[in-house]
Structure formats: structure tokens, C-alpha cells
Amino acid sequence: MSCDEVLRLLREREAACRGEAERLRSEAERITALLALCEEELARISTACEVVGELPRTARVTAATAGVVPAPRLGERPPNTEDRECLLEVLARYAGPVRCRQVVEDLGLEVTARRVETVRHRLKKAVAAGAVVQTPGGLFTLARGTVVAGG
């Protein structure tokens, strides 16, 4: 093997390593952003726990039951995630953008990956219809001028 061949092979390997390093850097940036979002949510939850922990016992019971959609009982059908009005009503409760997971929780459904993706799919259909706006971060909010029946 000549020096030129060895040098060519080394340069090929160097280019491959540079590409892999760049891919890993961008993946690390993505994970860092996800970690930051998770830590923000954790801080909010921690603050909420502190606030609720300071409430008098009677206020806790009232706050815990006020406006909560009860989980469906055995034999009862959960809220229909295909009903766009139902999804829009949930979004109308919030002043800002909401995660799909929160919409699933507000519908009183068990939070599973499948349900979250079903709701995300339905919300994206509402985006296409112009009733909902999706932010670059994957959050959803009502579009301006959207009227929700009963809301």
C-alpha cells in the first residue's frame, strides 16, 4: 500500500468521524433542549406541590375536586377524542399553548403514548381546518376567532 492510498483512507475516515461528531453534537443539543423543558416542568410541579401543601385541609379538598373531569368508570365510554369540539373546549380553558399530554389529562383519559398521539393527530386536523394553531415547539392553542360551543 502506498503512502497516497494510506493518506486517502485516513482522510475518508476523518471525514466520516467529522460527520458523526456533528450528528452527535446536534443530538446533544436536542437532548439538552428537552432536558431544559423537563426541568422547567419539574420546577412548576414542585412549586404547585408547595402551594397545595400550604393550603388548609378544607381548601385542598375543594381545590382537588373543583373542575376536575372524573375518570370514566368501568363500562362508561371515555370522552370522544375524535370530537373536535371537545378538544377545542379543552384548549379554550388555557390562555396559552398546551401540550397534547395536558389535553389528554383534561379529557380524563389515561395518559398513554397512543392516546397522546391520537389527540395530536386530531389537533393537527384542527390546525389544517384553521381552528387551532400549532407552535414550533409542538404546543397547540385556539386560533384567533375560533368560537367554541358552550365555551
Mean pLDDT of the chain: 82
Confidence of residue 83 (pLDDT cuts 50, 70, 90): confident
Tell me how far apart the alpha carbons of residues 120 and 136 are, in angstroms, rounded to a whole number.
Answer: 14
Helix or strand holding residue 39 (H, E): helix 3-54
Q: What is the pLDDT of residues 37-55, one digit of tens each?
A: 888 888 888 888 888 887 7
Q: Per-residue pLDDT for 2 more than 80? A: yes
pTM for the structure as a whole:
0.45
DSSP per-residue string spanning 8-30: HHHHHHHHHHHHHHHHHHHHHHH
Confidence of residue 77 (pLDDT cuts 50, 70, 90): very low
